[in-house]
Amino acid sequence: MKPPAFDYLAPGSLDEAVSALADGDAKIIAGGQSLMPMLNFRLLAPSLLVDITRIPGLDYIEDWDGGLRIGALSTHHALETSTMVAERFPVLAAAMRHVAHLAIRNRGTIGGSLCHGDPAAELPGLVLLLDGQLKTTQRVIPASVFYDGALSTTLGTDEILTEIMLPPPAAGTGWGFEEFARRSGDFALTAVAATIGEEARIVAMGANDIPLRLTGAEALFADLTSIEAVADAARAAVSPDSDLHASADYRRHLVGVLTKRALTAACARSS
Ligand SMILES: Cc1cc2nc3c(=O)[nH]c(=O)nc-3n(C[C@H](O)[C@H](O)[C@H](O)COP(=O)(O)OP(=O)(O)OC[C@H]3O[C@@H](n4cnc5c(N)ncnc54)[C@H](O)[C@@H]3O)c2cc1C
CA distances from 48 to 9, 178, 199, 260 (A): 7, 39, 45, 46
Is 0.85 topped by the overall pTM? yes
> 8 has which bridge partners?
49
Tens digits of pLDDT across the chain (271 residues): 789 999 999 999 999 999 999 978 999 999 999 999 999 999 999 999 999 999 999 999 999 999 999 999 999 999 999 999 999 999 999 999 999 999 999 999 999 999 999 999 999 999 999 999 999 999 999 999 999 999 999 999 999 999 999 999 999 999 999 999 999 999 999 999 999 999 999 999 999 999 999 999 999 999 988 999 999 999 999 999 999 999 999 999 999 999 999 999 999 999 8
Q: What is the mean pLDDT of the chain?
A: 97
Annotate 87-108 with b (16+ C-beta within 10 A) or e (fewer).
ebbbbbbbbbbbbbeeebbebb
Q: Where are the alpha helices (DSSP H) in the chain?
A: 14-20, 35-40, 76-81, 83-88, 90-96, 102-107, 110-116, 122-129, 215-222, 227-237, 248-269
Query: Mutation test of ligand 1: which of 33, 51, 58, 187 has the most ligand atoms closer than 8 Å to its C-beta?
Result: 33
- Separation of alpha carbons 202 and 217, rounded Å: 8
- SS3 label, residue 203: strand
> 29 has which bridge partners?
51
- Separation of alpha carbons 15 and 245, rounded Å: 42
CA distances from 137 to 109, 159, 161, 199 (A): 17, 6, 7, 32
- Separation of alpha carbons 126 and 258, rounded Å: 15
Per-residue pLDDT tens digits for 250-269 = 999 999 999 999 999 999 99
Atom of ligand 1 nearest to the CA of 27: 47
Per-residue pLDDT tens digits for 22-71 = 978 999 999 999 999 999 999 999 999 999 999 999 999 999 999 999 99
Ligand 1 centre and the CA of 73: distance in Å?
11
User: Residue of the nearest CA to atom 53 in ligand 1?
Assistant: 33
Spacing of C-alpha 179 from chain mean position: 14
Indicate the DSSP class of residue 117.
Answer: -
Q: Among 119, 108, 176, which residue's Cα sits nearest to residue 153?
A: 119
Ligand 1 centre and the CA of 30: distance in Å?
8
Sign of the torsion formed by the C-alpha atoms of 100, 105, 110 and 111: negative
Q: Is the CB of 46 under 6 A from ligand 1?
A: no
Indicate the DSSP class of residue 23.
Answer: G
- Separation of alpha carbons 107 and 203, rounded Å: 26
**pLDDT at residue 24 in the model:** 80
